[in-house]
Amino acid sequence: MIHVLILSDIHHIVKSLSIWIRTDPSLCILDATPHLIRNINHLPDNTVIIVDINLVKIEPLIKQISEKYRVILYSGSMEIMDIPCHLQKTSSGFFNAYTSPEEIIKIVLGCI
């Protein structure tokens, strides 16, 4: 089983992505509770973290989590000006709001 954590300040993004990801029985959504976020370095090893690139402090967060977990960047738009820089610094995957649910599942499954 692959655990998936979605980090976004926008509730409908988390809800939509969670619904899509739950369609695959091999994926398990982790709730981004304050306790879980404080203890982010203690997640299961087979965790994939989807990070909304619009989070305020994305740089230190990506640096912290990408050393231990697979990271997938998410953008709510087609604009990708900052994404190449993030992708070069980590071995992150990427999808945006226009990516089909099937492709999102493939990206998540391809990370582990």
Domain ranges of the chain: 2-110
Higher pLDDT, 54 or 111: 54
Tell me the pLDDT of the chain averaged across its residues: 85
SS3 label, residue 3 = strand
pLDDT exceeds 90 at position 17: yes
The label of the residue with tokens 């998410």 reads: 74
Q: In this structure, which long-range contacts are made by residues 92-98, counting pairs with CB atoms below 8 Å and at least 24 apart in sequence?
A: 92/62, 92/66
List of residues 6+ apart from 94 with CB closer than 8 A: 72, 73, 74, 75, 80, 83, 87, 107
Instruction: Return the percentage of the chain with pLDDT > 70, whole number.
Output: 85
Give residue 37's pLDDT.
85
pLDDT in tens, 57-105: 777 888 888 888 998 988 877 565 556 555 556 667 788 888 898 999 9
Superfamily for the 2-110 domain: Response regulator (3.40.50.2300)
